[in-house]
């Protein structure tokens, strides 16, 4: 698939593998419950464990009804873009398919300008690591293929990508 096809695929609840700024992820639209459920299925992930959501900018938090206080915004501007996922309150039922009853979602603005540009076109992505639950994260698209084969709709090969997962912090009001 070419880039335009991949963007259209994501917008229509497709899922796929791509390199993030930290590790390879298996991704789908965070705004499409069907895509999120597919991610749980292909990863074999415990259904009560929420995914990290990649966003293009702090402004994307509003799509989830998240409006950080001034102090929190100041903290986010220091951490993002970068490899830190921040858990924020998102208690509404509308996004229960993402927060899995926790009332919180971990968001991250990636450090990669290329990935942020992609996110501007696709919208926010639920982005767990590219592996089957309990297995090590894939370091190449080929390795991800051994995990998922034809159960995902696309693979973007970014070469070897063996970084560390993002750090995770929680911000409480």
Q: What pLDDT digit, counting tens, does each position of 71-120 carry?
A: 999 999 999 999 999 999 998 799 999 999 999 999 999 999 999 999 99
What confidence score (pLDDT) does residue 94 get?
94
Percent of the chain with pLDDT over 90: 84
- Here the CATH number for the domain that contains residue 33 is 3.90.870.10
pLDDT of residue 99: 95
E-state strands within the chain: 15-19, 24-29, 52-54, 84-89, 104-108, 125-126, 154-155, 167-170
β-bridge mates for residue 85, sequence order = 168
- Rounded to an integer, the average pLDDT of 16-44 is 96
Q: What's the total number of domains in the chain?
A: 1
Least confident of 42-46, 73-77, 114-118, 163-167: 163-167
CA 134-136-137 angle, 5° bins: 115
Domain range for 151: 3-170
Kindly report the pTM of this predicted structure. 0.95
């Amino acid at each position: 698939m070419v880039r335009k096809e991949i963007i259209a695929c994501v917008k229509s609840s497709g899922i796929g593998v791509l390199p993030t700024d930290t590790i390879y992820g298996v991704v789908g639209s965070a705004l499409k419950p069907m895509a999120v459920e597919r991610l749980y299925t292909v990863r074999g992930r415990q259904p009560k464990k929420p995914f990290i959501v990649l966003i293009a900018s702090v402004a994307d938090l509003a799509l989830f009804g998240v409006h950080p206080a001034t102090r929190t915004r100041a903290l986010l501007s220091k951490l993002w873009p970068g490899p830190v996922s921040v858990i924020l309150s998102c208690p509404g039922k509308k996004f229960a398919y993402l927060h899995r009853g926790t009332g919180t979602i971990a968001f991250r603005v990636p450090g990669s300008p290329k990935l942020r540009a992609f996110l501007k076109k696709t919208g926010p992505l639920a982005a767990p690591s590219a592996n089957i639950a309990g297995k090590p994260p894939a370091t190449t698209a080929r390795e991800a293929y051994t995990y998922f084969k034809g159960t995902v709709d696309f693979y973007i090969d970014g070469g070897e990508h063996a970084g560390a997962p993002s750090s995770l912090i929680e911000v409480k009001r």
